[in-house]
Structure 1
């Protein structure tokens, strides 16, 4: 299998515009993410997919690989355009605002496809257990629930499951926006119309569920910092300096 990583990078983020070009130590957020993914050594190639000349130039000027795309509603749609002419079997989508992703979670995602002999899984992604009430209720944290085999049932910005039975200790998991796609499933995804649940929640992987595709979720203990707000950037800077 040929495995590549693609980092979708949009300049005009809604909650924190230009966040990927903010400095994180001596490098920008997007350059830090690119460098960390490259240094895992897991991928045949690593690309940044962007509609921003600023981000494109940032990556290419430092010797990286970038692909210019059109404007897209979701990162997956952007990646689908970027990889349609790239020879590969598996595409790992690493979010540009998750600069501290480590080796082991990426290896776990890749292993899903090595073990999927019947090629039934369209994509795999990561989840991490939430324990703090504030984090569970934060709509910026996308929650996921799965079946007994680890396949996603639903993603939501709301608290799921709803904890009605007080005698039972419910478990909560945050979806980490790192995806591993079969290329053909990704291309198919980009041709499918958005359905009501995806539109309402603004969560792109719901589209797969609405069309009956399988998403395998892998639990990880990795704790990083997703940069969605200026406060998150300060947390990331502190993590880098510790």
Structure 2
């Protein structure tokens, strides 16, 4: 049997710091993880999707729903490290890191994420969406600035760019959406690197790539998401999903 070219991996950690057990919380009649998995499976560019968890409870839910799952060490420090653990068992050319707390995920997000790999020099990709005025000063909404060719220059919880001469005016700010795709060798290199100073300062693992000279290409999307970190986030997502159905 041929190896899949592109594998989606959903890190699903049960012991989340801000909202424990959130990947199993019910949203509009289904576990949060179900919304994420079903959207990922609907993406035609993915050859397979595997859930990577540190919890036997999550693994049992996956088996009950016939979702492919791998148990990974609870000591892994990041979602990218969990994707790397799955990569040791399931070889592929490209790996897609699909956050387990993004129940508003659409297949179109993943299609956009994979588009830049048509260029051979691209090693890592991620997404951006126009930032709403309410999120421009929100540190939980990570911002990104890019070069003209789409390479990320920096990610920050601060408002970047800062419009020094137009304070209070509408700014062209981009919000980062925390989905990533990597060539296998870039994922291996990330795993081998120590957490970087900027990464630890901002608590943003993607800065490890930039500090070590690895380019991230940022593809725009028109579809925003709400990563679920609080009860308020969950309620907002539930209202949106119920309105869709």
Aligned to 1:86: 90
Q: Per the alignment, in what secondary structure is the counterpart of residue 137 of structure 1?
A: coil
Residue 17 (structure 1) shift: 1.2
| Cα displacement string for residues 185-227 of structure 1 (whole angstroms, at most 9, x for unaligned residues) | 1011001011110011110110000100010001110023221
Structure 1 segments of 4 or more deviating over 3 A?
167-170
CA distance in 2, matches of 1:8, 1:29: 13
Q: CA RMSD in A?
A: 1.5
Aligned to 2:106: 102
CA distance in 2, matches of 1:75, 1:131: 26
Residue 172 (structure 1) shift: 0.8
Check whether the contact 2:43–2:108 (CA below 8 A) recurs between aligned residues.
no
Structure 2 gap segments, 5+ residues each: none
Aligned to 1:187: 188
Q: Per the alignment, in what secondary structure is the counterpart of residue 136 of structure 2?
A: helix
| Cα displacement string for residues 128-187 of structure 1 (whole angstroms, at most 9, x for unaligned residues) | 11131x311111111111111110011111111122122886411111011111011101
Aligned to 1:22: 25
Aligned to 2:5: 2
Aligned to 1:160: 160
Check whether the contact 1:84–1:187 (CA below 8 A) recurs between aligned residues.
no
CA distance in 2, matches of 1:59, 1:196: 36
Check whether the contact 2:95–2:183 (CA below 8 A) recurs between aligned residues.
yes
Please, what TM-score do these two structures have when normalized by structure 2?
A: 0.92
Aligned to 1:171: 172
The worse-fitting range, judged by mean Cα deviation, of 31-40 and 188-197 is: 31-40
Aligned to 2:135: 135
| Cα displacement string for residues 48-93 of structure 1 (whole angstroms, at most 9, x for unaligned residues) | 1111111111112210111111122211011111112312001111
CA distance in 2, matches of 1:26, 1:180: 30
Q: Per the alignment, in what secondary structure is the counterpart of residue 30 of structure 1?
A: helix
Structure 1 gap segments, 5+ residues each: none
